[in-house]
Structure 1
Amino acid sequence: MPHPKSATAWPPSCAAPRETIQAPSFVLPTGACDTHAHVICADFERYPLVPERSYTPPPAPEALYLDMLRATGMQRGVLVQPSVYGTDNRYMLEVLQRHHDRLRGVAVVDERIGDDELAHMHALGVRGVRINVLFRGGVNLDLMERLAHRVADLGWHLQFLIDVRLLSELQARIARLPCPVVIDHFGHFPARLGVKEPGFELLLRNVAEHGWWVKLSGAYRLSERHPDYADTDALAHALLGVAPERMVWGSDWPHVALESTPDTGSLLDRLYSWAPDERQRQSILVDNPAVLYDFK
């Protein structure tokens, strides 16, 4: 189906993922998991994008996603519902259903969702709900307490896409939630601000004291050091120094909302700099995702 037309009335289009992916320079452990990627169907009529979105993505369908997993050596993956679909999780759920043994999902829902629908999502492999305060189309912070109580009995978590420079205003609410908490993309703030940035220090404290999880993902969104992203090393080392058992890695494929996309394989190579020890990479890529996303 045709891509939604580009015009001034439409949110800006973003670049497609690269056609070729550099193979990682190290051998991934068996069961390695990419915990953060999105799928976007090419049929924009069957799966329409919400008008209030922040960007207009190119197709990134199931087949290309599976190709990316193969190219990077990943055997498992976690799909995160992109904001451009709002609470219409249909395409992600269909992909999960076809690959239930190796994929899990993080959905976007609101307070209107029924218990039967939550149970159906759980059966298909959904293990979390995303709260998004950075891109239009997602579900915002107003619903966090209600959603947390809805999903806690399922063993799900709440995943937050938030700039941690805002964390001081929210951490008391988040810390009281009755379910696990996952923070996207290192806390999504400029890496040049460093580990002494007050929001990042607060993130570290909550990881240590309240058991929060963090995705070592989206380094290219924080970095001013392209294409190696070396200015994110200090952030990764600080997080791994606090709780290596609650760190997971994600590609953030297909790298939406950008005019130029990074090489997914080179992002994975950065992990080797953060975790040069093979046992630590085993935890980040295999053991920790198995716990968080209930891989058997």
Structure 2
Amino acid sequence: MAPATLIETEHSSLFPHGGWDTHHHIFDPETFPYSPNRHLTPPAATVQDFDDFRKKLGITKSVLTHGLSYGDDCTSLKAFVPQLGQKVTRAIGVIDPEETSDDEIREMHAAGTRGIRVNLYRYRAMEDINLQKKALAAHLKRITNLSLPWSLTMTTIRTEFWSELAPFVLDTVIKEGVPLITDHFALLKAPSMLSPEFKSDPTKQPGFEPIMRLVRSGHLWVKLSAPYRVSELKPDYEDLKFLVRAFVDANKHRVLWGSDWPHTPRMKVRTHEEAMKETPYMVIDDEAWLRSLRLWLSDEEWDLLMVQNPSKLFSH
């Protein structure tokens, strides 16, 4: 099918059948203080702020992703979901596999949580593949032991790790029937962020082939989110077209869209002093990015990305 023509009218042209934002945060440190062991100190970004944001864009449903600044304390998450509207909001939580009780996990499910994200900062695993596998296995065990219909999300900044992670995922996560999600284009890069050796052929960058194999086989869901983490060409991020098309062509049923609102800075390991200092959000033109993305997809692909795929994964 040929790419759809974008009519520059109202926001309804972007979301004629509604639309899901599958990755956003809420930060309210006055009501819910951050963890003392956090990796980042974001400014307030409240429920009302997000409500204004989603109405401006025309988003109708969302998945609140627990901010890692709160650690594994999901008290705030359980409070934010009903404020956002439990009929239109689902959540991705964070747990401590050794300390979070079964009762608390069941409470999270009752409050609208439908998956957990692996906090690699807690494991000091951002640069260690063996610790990443350990963390993934520990979180998987908690989900399967409770027979919860949840997904599992893990995002590594070291894309080359996927060569070893892919067979591990097949032998563990997929064998248990748990959907695996990775955020932000799996942190594969557009040419504007690649070293010279990969600019001419970005498909040769580390991790590209094993990630695409997992997507193609249906074993990995990828969020086309936070383009500013993988491209320098804001506001339209035109060099991301090749990566969007690669994921969609690999498996149009395994792609999701998320805003990453309120746009925290790029992932990195910070010193404790850096982490305790309030860090401003990035200024992003979300509508410009969405309109750019829309031009690269057919009507069917857009509806899968924005409505059908997230509904399949999160509506239960």
Using structure 2 for the length normalisation, give the TM-score.
Answer: 0.79
Contact 1:110 1:139 survives alignment (8 Å): no
1:144 corresponds, among 136, 143, 159, to 136
Cα root mean square deviation, aligned: 2.0
Partner of 1:262: 284
Q: Tell me, in whole angstroms, the C-alpha distance in 2 between the residues paired with 1:103 and 1:138.
A: 29
User: Does residue 148 of structure 2 align to residue 161 of structure 1?
Assistant: no
Q: Tell me, in whole angstroms, the C-alpha distance in 2 between the residues paired with 1:61 and 1:195.
A: 39
- SS, match of residue 28 in structure 1: coil
Distance 1:145 1:101, change over 3 A: same
- SS, match of residue 34 in structure 2: coil
User: Does residue 60 of structure 2 align to residue 102 of structure 1?
Assistant: no
Partner of 1:28: 15
Q: Tell me, in whole angstroms, the C-alpha distance in 1 between the residues paired with 2:45 and 2:115.
A: 22
Q: Tell me, in whole angstroms, the C-alpha distance in 1 between the residues paired with 2:35 and 2:29.
A: 15
Contact 1:108 1:130 survives alignment (8 Å): yes
* Cα deviation digits, residues 99-120 of structure 1 (max 9, x gap): 1100000001011222221111
Partner of 1:56: 41
Runs of 4+ aligned structure 1 residues displaced above 6 Å come to none
Q: Tell me, in whole angstroms, the C-alpha distance in 2 between the residues paired with 1:101 and 1:70.
A: 16
1:128 corresponds, among 115, 123, 128, to 115
Q: Tell me, in whole angstroms, the C-alpha distance in 1 between the residues paired with 2:169 and 2:124.
A: 15
Quick check: 120-129 or 203-212, which moved more?
A: 203-212
1:233 corresponds, among 226, 241, 259, to 241
Partner of 1:190: 189
Alpha-carbon shift at residue 195 of structure 1 (Å)? 2.5
Partner of 1:20: none
Task: Give % identity.
Answer: 32
Tell me which amino acid in the other structure corresponds to 2:28.
C
Q: Tell me, in whole angstroms, the C-alpha distance in 2 between the residues paired with 1:68 and 1:222.
A: 23
- SS, match of residue 79 in structure 1: strand
Distance 1:268 1:190, change over 3 A: same
- SS, match of residue 203 in structure 2: coil
Q: Tell me, in whole angstroms, the C-alpha distance in 2 between the residues paired with 1:267 and 1:88.
A: 32
Q: Tell me, in whole angstroms, the C-alpha distance in 2 between the residues paired with 1:137 and 1:252.
A: 21
Distance 1:223 1:254, change over 3 A: same
Contact 2:118 2:154 survives alignment (8 Å): yes
Distance 1:266 1:217, change over 3 A: same
Q: Tell me, in whole angstroms, the C-alpha distance in 1 between the residues paired with 2:184 and 2:73.
A: 23
Q: Tell me, in whole angstroms, the C-alpha distance in 2 between the residues paired with 1:138 and 1:233.
A: 34
Q: Tell me, in whole angstroms, the C-alpha distance in 1 between the residues paired with 2:283 and 2:89.
A: 24
Using structure 1 for the length normalisation, give the TM-score.
Answer: 0.84
Alpha-carbon shift at residue 190 of structure 1 (Å)? 2.6
The aligned length equals 268
Partner of 1:11: none
Partner of 2:274: none
User: Does residue 73 of structure 2 align to residue 88 of structure 1?
Assistant: yes
Contact 1:37 1:252 survives alignment (8 Å): yes
